């Protein structure tokens, strides 16, 4: 196999990094934004499944442990209601985390660039 | 400029990459540079992050809360924002590395054909869709062409280029081949290629890349691998196909081998998906919605298949998708309960396992979602209980199931509910049906075909369970099923199976083991072969086709191994060996020997007995002796013979003894004997005495090689040699031989005239050979006498006593022992009376000691020659 020399690799690495740096801003707010938001949305949907909120809300009025008496139904409803609440809280928590991550994504690049440049100029 | 393309979803996929040395080097440099960049960016990120933390630690973490920290210039700020930049860059770079620059199209069931390049639509370069391994293969092909100074990179170069790819080396290994086996032929072929510089991709090569792309798309691959190129080259190049054929690999073998790798890949993929889905599936009796109740009684007599599937303990289901769909259709369609009917070992339990696996992944109809599949064990249920107690237990279980509402019952061998036989037991079936109809729940049951016909079909269970047939898979599916199991067998015994071993396990067990069914019997054979090889050849040994054949042979007693060197000699000298026991009868010996050779080299037709002969001739001329000789030479022992005296079957009703009486549940004398000893001679003595109806039965055996007994089992006769002997026409033969007619005339006259009243012409036509045995001549009898004498000598040998007969004594015995009516039969008696008796007396009188020699003289006298004293 024809092996490239280290010089060639280094040269290519420098060139590629230049190219990537040039492409970064555009990518960040087009393809990258779409991809990242897609992933975050998907993770929120997964969290609904993970915490079983869909199953629990569907069965809110179904008695637990097959106990269909009035008391059984009542206890069951109360328990289910609170369990559902707790589980929904889990989903909510994750949604908030995902939201924060989305906001961080949007601002990360410009804030970093501006911050880096202004601080660097300032300290120098 | 490409020559070909595939138009798919408005895009034009074609090959337009340069593979010359410079481009290859550049591509390689880009790959290394990308890795370098990732490393450097990550390193910088870590360093900047660490410095930020250290600075923050020095100035106090609380400063982060002040706006001055973010705005006023500081070194902490520089490093903090630099960390942010490196995070952004690394995120971008990794997402570039993660996705190839082009994306494989998905969801296309029909991929359009390869057409000439027209350059319409967005152009996608195929080179971007090849895996790293595949790109390396193509690079090697170009390198080879450059090295030889060839003008074109042809299929042969690509073929050689792919050989080092990991997938392709597995193909070679499993096929029991190495490149060294093909090297000479490939080298010679390479010498003849056209020279020129620099090498360009040939049109065939380009086409193969596009075909590989089509194959990858139709199989939903995420990239084009070396295996697709390799398979494409094989399909397009007749020379390479011939190369493999030369090494015993035909197209079916090749494609099954490729399928094997794909099965493994799919299994891995499916396993990953199941593991992922298993995270959401509860393993206890409780469903996710917590609507079910505890089921202690049920748990005591059952196994939760969904829990087993979650922990990955169930076997993978292969090639049974259509049956599962049918089951789901029945369940969804309203008539809810299903009974899977199929012979033992075709994979009914595996289908249940497959359904459990689909339930874990929730890829099932709504009615089955968030439920568990629970297999009840009927023996457990009824053990230690009288019928009414068993019924009580069953009712208790049903009440648990009804209240729990998340249970689908799986009942294996549902016939056991009926099979108890008593009236109370029949109630168990009725109880089940009653429960199912009232509770609105349903069950998936299994039973064997025989039990279904005998017990289930006409019972109440048969009316409420919809039947889904699970037939024995064909050989190709069975090979795929076995391939999916080989991994675990290899792991268990630390051996490696060749493709040939897998194929033989299926084909040989299918051909020779008729009591059990595919794929189970093939899996058992493979498992035993694996164990045997690991014991005899040690760890990491290769299990070959011969190893599997020897297991099948030891199970069935049929030699299935390929003809070995010493056996070749034996087969070629069959006539000599037979003549050692049968005197005269040249034509008969020759016909039989040829038939045996045809059988052993697999040139015979598969659906019939190995050979069928009718031996005609007077008594005592060697008909039975020849049959015994065949048994000894071909089947290894003269006792490998099923002898039926057809004079016992003169009544039409005696057919019941032959095939078993209807309803008796026992096979017949003939069918049972052949079932137990499928590799033997079936000798039908005195065939002319059998009733004509019975001859009709044999007509079927000769034609199809099988019989169905009274129990409904199909008995295989394809590994038997059927020899019928008959004395019909004896008088004519004797007269004609005395007249000096040729054997040919005698035979024609016999078939056309003499046998007409005894056998129907179509019956005679079914025989592979009708062989007329000549009456013995005085010379023949003398030879036979000599054989008898040498038999006497053999019997005396263990005692250390020698024996010879003088010529005059032999001549005298031959003359006295021969009777034109009974042939050589009286001779045996005579030898017993005259020779054996005299020797016995001498032994008893103590006249003969070790090293003495007994000499038989004319007149039946014996002389003892004293041996040397020690």
- Of residues B476 and B598, more confidence is placed in B476
- Asked if the Cβ–Cβ distance from B291 to A1 is below 8 Å, we say no
Per-residue pLDDT, averaged over B402-406, amounts to: 80
| The pLDDT value given to residue B79 | 92
Nearest CA in chain A to B22: A2
| The pLDDT value given to residue B718 | 85
How does the average pLDDT of chain B come out, rounded?
84
Residue B826 pLDDT greater than 60, yes or no: yes
Does residue A4 lie within any of the structural domains?
Answer: no
Per-residue pLDDT, averaged over B472-498, amounts to: 89
Q: What percent of chain B has pLDDT over 90?
A: 17
| The pLDDT value given to residue B31 | 84
Per-residue pLDDT, averaged over B608-614, amounts to: 87
Instruction: Please tell me if residue B94 touches chain A, with a CB cutoff of 8 Å.
Output: no
What is the architecture, at CATH level 2, of domain B280-469?
3-Layer(aba) Sandwich (3.40)
pLDDT interval class at B91 (50, 70, 90)? very high
| Stated pTM of the model | 0.72
Chain A residue numbers with beta carbons less than 8 Å from the beta carbon of B403 are 66
Partners of residue B819 on adjacent β-strands: B823
| The pLDDT value given to residue B660 | 85
Per-residue pLDDT, averaged over B443-447, amounts to: 92
| The pLDDT value given to residue B445 | 92
Partner residue opposite A16 with nearest CB, options B30, B88, B293: B30
Among candidate residues B253, B250, B258, the one with its CA nearest the CA of residue B229: B258
Q: How far is the C-alpha of B495 from the C-alpha of B541, rounded, in Å?
A: 5
What's the token pair of residue B364? Answer: 């099932």
The CATH number of B565-772, from 3.40.50.300, 3.40.718.10, 1.10.3470.10, 3.30.2290.10, is 3.40.50.300
Domain count for chain A: 1
| The pLDDT value given to residue B713 | 79
Residue B717: its H or E element: none
| The pLDDT value given to residue B292 | 66
Per-residue pLDDT, averaged over A46-71, amounts to: 80
Residue B161 pLDDT greater than 80, yes or no: yes
Residue B54 pLDDT greater than 80, yes or no: yes
| The pLDDT value given to residue A70 | 86
Burial class for B513, CB neighbours closer than 10 Å (0-12, 13-18, 19+): buried
Task: Give pLDDT tens digits for A98-118.
Answer: 999 999 999 999 999 999 999
- Of residues B558 and B13, more confidence is placed in B13
Partner residue opposite A59 with nearest CB, options B36, B289, B404: B289
Which of B18, B20, B84, B95 is the mutation pick for testing A, counting most A CBs within 10 A? B84
CA distance A25 to chain B (A): 10
Nearest CA in chain B to A33: B92
Inter-chain CB pairs, A–B, below 8 Å: 132
Which of A5, A6, A9, A80 is the mutation pick for testing B, counting most B CBs within 10 A? A9
Query: What is the assigned CATH class of domain B127-266?
Result: mainly alpha
pLDDT interval class at B423 (50, 70, 90)? low
Task: Give pLDDT tens digits for B241-268.
Answer: 999 999 888 898 899 899 888 888 878 8
Instruction: Please tell me if residue B64 touches chain A, with a CB cutoff of 8 Å.
Output: no
Question: Which domain does A43 fall in, by range?
Answer: 24-123
pLDDT interval class at B554 (50, 70, 90)? confident
What's the token pair of residue B54? Answer: 């250290």
Chain A residue numbers with beta carbons less than 8 Å from the beta carbon of B72 are 122
Residue B641 pLDDT greater than 50, yes or no: yes
Whether B726 and B688 have beta carbons less than 8 Å apart is answered as yes
Residue B565 pLDDT greater than 60, yes or no: no
- Asked if the Cβ–Cβ distance from A58 to B405 is below 8 Å, we say no
Q: What CATH code would you report for B475-556?
A: 1.10.8.60
CATH 1.10.8.60 is right for the domain spanning B778-865:
yes
Per-residue pLDDT, averaged over B388-399, amounts to: 85
The DSSP bridge pattern shows strands B681-685 and B466-469 to be unpaired
| The pLDDT value given to residue B383 | 82
Residue A1 pLDDT greater than 60, yes or no: no
Instruction: Please tell me if residue B276 touches chain A, with a CB cutoff of 8 Å.
Output: no
- Of residues B867 and A66, more confidence is placed in B867
| The pLDDT value given to residue B286 | 64
Partner residue opposite A55 with nearest CB, options B33, B72, B288: B288
3 state DSSP class of B648: helix
Does residue A18 lie within any of the structural domains?
Answer: no
pLDDT interval class at B287 (50, 70, 90)? low
Among candidate residues B349, B291, B344, B294, the one with its CA nearest the CA of residue B320: B349
- Asked if the Cβ–Cβ distance from B25 to A119 is below 8 Å, we say no
Helix segments in B456-556, DSSP class H: 460-464, 475-493, 499-512, 520-536, 545-556
| The pLDDT value given to residue B425 | 45
Residue B49 pLDDT greater than 90, yes or no: yes
- Asked if the Cβ–Cβ distance from A13 to B36 is below 8 Å, we say yes
Q: How far is the C-alpha of B678 from the C-alpha of B658, rounded, in Å?
A: 16
Does residue A2 lie within any of the structural domains?
Answer: no
How many of the other CB atoms lie within 10 Å of CB of B386? Answer: 11
Chain B residue numbers with beta carbons less than 8 Å from the beta carbon of A118 are 73
Instruction: Please tell me if residue B290 touches chain A, with a CB cutoff of 8 Å.
Output: yes
| The pLDDT value given to residue B799 | 84
pLDDT interval class at B335 (50, 70, 90)? low
Whether B136 and B222 have beta carbons less than 8 Å apart is answered as no
Per-residue pLDDT, averaged over B309-326, amounts to: 85
Which of B51, B87, B88, B400 is the mutation pick for testing A, counting most A CBs within 10 A? B88
The winner for highest mean pLDDT among B73-87, B432-446, B662-676, B812-826 is B73-87
Q: How far is the C-alpha of B634 from the C-alpha of B366, rounded, in Å?
A: 61
Residue B304 pLDDT greater than 80, yes or no: yes
Helix segments in B601-718, DSSP class H: 623-635, 655-659, 669-676, 692-704
Least confident of B280-284, B373-377, B579-583: B280-284
Instruction: Say which residues have a Cβ less than 8 Å from residue B53's Cβ, sequence separation at least 6.
Output: none
Task: Give pLDDT tens digits for B504-545.
Answer: 999 989 888 877 888 899 999 999 999 999 999 888 888 988
Residue B419 pLDDT greater than 70, yes or no: no
Partner residue opposite A115 with nearest CB, options B26, B77, B139: B77
pLDDT interval class at B675 (50, 70, 90)? confident
Does residue A86 lie within any of the structural domains?
Answer: yes
Instruction: Say which residues have a Cβ less than 8 Å from residue B388's Cβ, sequence separation at least 6.
Output: B424
Task: Give pLDDT tens digits for B109-154.
Answer: 678 888 888 877 788 888 888 888 898 899 889 889 988 999 999 9
Whether B831 and B788 have beta carbons less than 8 Å apart is answered as yes
Among candidate residues B547, B566, B564, the one with its CA nearest the CA of residue B508: B547
pLDDT interval class at B155 (50, 70, 90)? very high
| The pLDDT value given to residue B564 | 55
């Amino acid at each position: 196999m024809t092996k490239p020399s280290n010089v060639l690799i280094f040269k290519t690495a420098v060139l590629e990094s230049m190219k990537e740096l040039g492409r970064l801003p555009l990518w960040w707010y087009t393809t990258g934004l779409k991809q990242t938001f897609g992933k975050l949305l998907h993770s929120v949907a997964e969290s609904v499944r993970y915490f079983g909120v869909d199953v629990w809300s569907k069965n809110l009025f179904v008695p637990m442990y097959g106990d269909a008496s009035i008391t059984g139904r009542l206890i069951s409803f109360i328990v289910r209601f609170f369990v559902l609440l707790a589980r929904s809280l889990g989903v909510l928590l994750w949604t908030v985390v995902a939201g924060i991550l989305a906001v961080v994504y949007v601002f990360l690049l410009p804030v970093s660039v501006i911050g880096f440049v202004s601080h660097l100029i300032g300290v120098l | 400029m490409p020559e070909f393309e595939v138009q798919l979803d408005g895009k034009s996929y074609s090959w337009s990459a340069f593979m010359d040395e410079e481009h290859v080097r550049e591509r390689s440099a880009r790959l290394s540079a990308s890795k370098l960049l990732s490393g450097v960016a990550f390193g910088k990120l870590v360093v900047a992050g660490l410095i930020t933390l250290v600075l923050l630690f020095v100035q106090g973490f609380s400063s982060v809360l002040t706006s001055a920290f973010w705005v006023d210039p500081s070194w902490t700020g520089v490093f903090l924002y630099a960390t942010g930049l490196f995070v952004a860059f690394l995120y971008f770079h990794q997402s570039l590395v993660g996705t190839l620059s082009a994306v494989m199209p998905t969801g296309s069931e029909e991929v359009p054909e390869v057409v000439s390049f027209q350059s319409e639509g967005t152009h996608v370069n195929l080179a971007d869709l090849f895996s790293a391994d595949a790109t390396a293969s193509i690079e090697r092909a170009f390198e080879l062409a450059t090295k030889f100074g060839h003008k074109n990179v042809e299929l042969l170069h690509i073929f050689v280029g792919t050989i080092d790819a990991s997938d392709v080396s597995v193909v070679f290994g499993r096929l029991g081949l190495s490149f060294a086996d093909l090297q000479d032929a490939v080298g010679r072929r390479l010498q003849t290629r056209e020279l020129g510089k620099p090498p360009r991709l040939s049109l065939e090569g380009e086409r193969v890349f596009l075909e590989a792309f089509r194959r990858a798309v139709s199989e939903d691959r995420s990239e084009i691998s070396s295996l697709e190129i390799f398979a494409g080259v094989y399909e397009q190049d007749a020379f390479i196909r011939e190369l493999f054929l030369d090494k015993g690999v035909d197209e079916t073998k090749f494609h099954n081998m490729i399928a094997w790798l794909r099965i493994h890949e799919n299994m891995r993929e499916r396993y990953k998906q199941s593991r992922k889905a298993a995270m959401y599936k509860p393993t206890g009796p409780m469903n996710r919605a917590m609507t079910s109740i505890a089921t202690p009684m049920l748990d005591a007599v059952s196994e939760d298949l969904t829990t087993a599937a979650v922990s990955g303990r169930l076997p993978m289901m292969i090639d049974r998708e259509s049956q599962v769909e049918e089951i789901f259709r029945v369940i969804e369609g309203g008539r809810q309960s299903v009974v899977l009917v199929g012979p033992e070992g075709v994979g009914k339990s595996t289908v249940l396992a497959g359904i459990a696996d689909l339930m874990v992944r929730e890829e099932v109809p709504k009615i089955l979602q968030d439920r568990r599949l629970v297999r009840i064990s009927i023996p457990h249920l009824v053990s230690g209980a009288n019928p009414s107690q068993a019924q009580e237990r069953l009712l208790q279980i049903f009440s648990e199931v009804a209240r729990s509402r998340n249970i689908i019952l799986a009942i294996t061998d549902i016939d056991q509910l009926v099979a108890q036989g008593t009236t109370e037991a029949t109630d168990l079936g009725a109880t089940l049906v009653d429960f199912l109809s009232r509770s609105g729940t349903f069950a998936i049951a299994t039973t064997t075909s025989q039990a279904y016909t005998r017990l289930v079909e006409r019972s109440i269970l048969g009316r409420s369970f919809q039947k889904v047939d699970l037939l024995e898979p064909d050989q190709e599916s069975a090979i795929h099923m076995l391939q999916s199991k080989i991994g675990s067998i290899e792991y268990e015994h630390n051996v490696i199976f060749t493709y040939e071993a897998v194929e033989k396990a299926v084909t040989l067990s299918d051909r020779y083991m008729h009591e059990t069914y595919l794929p189970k019997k093939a899996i058992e054979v493979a498992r035993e072969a694996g164990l045997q090889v690991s014991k005899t050849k040690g760890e990491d040994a290769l299990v070959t086709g011969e190893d599997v054949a020897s297991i099948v042979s030891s199970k069935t007693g049929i030699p299935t191994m390929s003809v070995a060197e010493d056996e070749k000699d034996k087969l070629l000298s069959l006539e000599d060996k037979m003549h050692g026991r049968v005197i005269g009868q040249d034509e008969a010996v020759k016909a039989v020997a040829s038939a045996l050779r045809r059988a052993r080299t697999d040139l015979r037709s598969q659906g019939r007995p190995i050979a069928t002969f009718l031996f005609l001739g007077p008594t005592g001329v060697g008909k039975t002796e020849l049959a015994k000789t065949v048994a000894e030479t071909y089947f290894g022992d003269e006792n490998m013979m099923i002898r039926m005296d057809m004079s016992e079957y003169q009544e039409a009703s005696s057919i019941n003894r032959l095939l078993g009486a209807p309803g008796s549940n026992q096979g017949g004398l003939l069918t049972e004997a052949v079932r137990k000893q499928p590799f033997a001679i079936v000798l039908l003595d005195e065939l002319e005495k059998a009733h004509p109806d019975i001859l009709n039965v044999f007509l079927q055996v000769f034609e199809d090689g099988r019989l169905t007994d009274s129990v409904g089992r199909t008995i295989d006769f394809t590994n038997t040699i059927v020899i019928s002997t008959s004395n019909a026409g004896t008088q004519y033969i004797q007269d004609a031989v005395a007249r000096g007619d040729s054997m040919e005339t005698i035979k024609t006259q016999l078939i056309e005239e003499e046998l007409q009243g005894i056998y129907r012409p179509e019956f005679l036509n079914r025989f592979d050979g009708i062989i007329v045995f000549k009456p013995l001549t005085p010379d023949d009898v003398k030879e036979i006498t000599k054989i008898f004498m040498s038999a006497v000598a053999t019997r005396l040998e263990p005692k250390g006593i020698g024996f010879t007969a003088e010529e005059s004594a032999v001549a005298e015995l031959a003359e006295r022992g021969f009777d034109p009516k009974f042939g050589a039969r009286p001779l045996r008696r005579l030898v017993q009376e005259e020779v054996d008796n005299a020797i016995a007396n001498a032994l008893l009188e103590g006249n003969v000691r070790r090293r003495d020699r007994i000499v038989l003289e004319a007149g039946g006298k014996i002389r003892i020659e004293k041996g040397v004293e020690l």
